[in-house]
Amino acid sequence: MMATVLQSRVTFAGLSFDPLVLSEPLMWLVLASFLGSALLHHRDEQWARITAVTGWGLFGAFWFVLIPHFVLTQKSFVEGIGSVAAVPLSLYAGYLLWNGRDSLFVLTRAVGTMGIVYVPFLTIEPLRQFLVEVVTDQTGFLMALLGVDPVVVDGFSHNGIEIVTKQYPYESTFWFDHEEGPVTYNILLACTGIGSISIFAGAILAVSAPWRRKLRALAATAAVIYVLNLFRNVFIAISFGRQRMQVFEGPIMSLFGISDPRMVSYYLADRILAQVGSVVVLVGLTWILVRELPEMTVLVEDLLFMLTGNEYDLEAAFHTPDAETSATPGDD
């Protein structure tokens, strides 16, 4: 049987535990702590603080458990660095909140809200399947407009060849035939943009602002992320499926520890260009949102303080009006 080239690995070879399995109970504990803190905040601030600080400690443990998954299994520099940095930042957030930086209650609420948006897609299979297959269809449509029309495969095999580490038997795999063997690109939940959308949804919905402005900002942000993510999928699928980025094969194979040279196009397109580009886009969207929804400055200021140790006044820097004067009667 000819082996297929896969988009990513979901097993953790050589180790005795699966980080994804260990992270799941931590995820639920973090979500319960952050949402519990939000519910307690207006009734008993001390218990809300204790609950939130506990949640930040668990959040640090959550990211610590996932470090091997992002660094060794996914071989992602961006996600690997992010998961490593998230551990001390989570613990530091809990420390600052315990010592009286009450603005971090907003960030706590934001992370809890992110979970409310994202976790249903992670845990409810019909919802996850619907989103993954819709994104697959739309990615395929855009590729067809560019003259690229791979076979879209459901199940765990095609033409007698097993798609070894495909997570779910959805119609979500683009199959490119090559003389050396097929190249497959799987659309996963991570490829739908829901993760990035949930981050911004949590931040937007957590701040104190008129609902009309928040919903308008959320709709615009979600639409931009969703469309850009489709183009990201098209770029990776064509680059990998058509082997368009077979450059610096030796260095890339050594850098990522891969043995099949056909994976070079995937790692260049996704792990380097697409992921770095995504970070740039998210930073740009945050900059725009801070200007359009000035109430979000409290979140950005706290994050900047944790990263640099310096206080920032973004309201002054962006010349944004305060929340009280910026709202109009029609915003309510």
Q: Can you state the percent helix, strand and coil of the chain, rounding each to 5? A: 70, 5, 25
User: Which residue in the list 109, 128, 213, 232 is annotated as catalytic?
Assistant: 232
User: What is the DSSP code (8-state) at residue 176?
Assistant: E
> CA gyration radius for the chain?
21
pLDDT at 229: 97
Contacts of 247 (CB under 8 A, 6+ apart): 264, 268
Confidence (pLDDT) at 7? 36
User: Do 247 and 269 meet the contact criterion of CB atoms below 8 Å apart?
Assistant: no
Q: What is the DSSP letter of 72?
A: I
Residue numbers of the chain with a pLDDT score lower than 50: 1-13, 320-332
244 classed as catalytic: no
Instruction: Please enumerate in sequence order all residues whose Cβ is within 8 A of that of 98, keeping only pairs 6 or more positions apart, or say none.
Output: 49, 53
Domain range annotation of the chain: 19-331
Question: What's residue 328's pLDDT?
Answer: 38
The pLDDT of residue 14: 55
- Residue 19, pLDDT score: 82
d(CA 87, CA 44): 28
Q: Quick one: DSSP state of residue 160? A: T
User: Which of 276, 274, 252 is closest to 263 using CA atoms?
Assistant: 252
The answer to whether residue 128 is catalytic is: no
Q: Which residues contact 227 (CB under 8 A, 6 or more apart)?
A: none
Structure tokens at 141: 């449509």
The residue annotated as part of the active site, out of 49, 128, 191, 213, is: 191
Task: Quote the Cα angle for 48-50-55, to 5°.
Answer: 90
pLDDT at 161: 86
Please state whether the predicted TM-score (pTM) of the whole model is above 0.75: yes
Comparing CA positions, the residue from 115, 114, 106, 117 lying closest to residue 295 is 106
Query: Per residue in 206-227, pLDDT tens?
Result: 999 999 999 999 999 999 999 9
Residue from 271, 278, 246 nearest 256 by CA: 271
User: Letter for the amino acid at 117?
Assistant: V
Query: And the tokens for 25?
Result: 């109970």
Residues 11, 14, 19, 20, Cα dihedral to 10°: 10
How many Å from the N-terminal Cα to the C-terminal Cα in the chain?
Answer: 63
The pLDDT value given to residue 279: 94
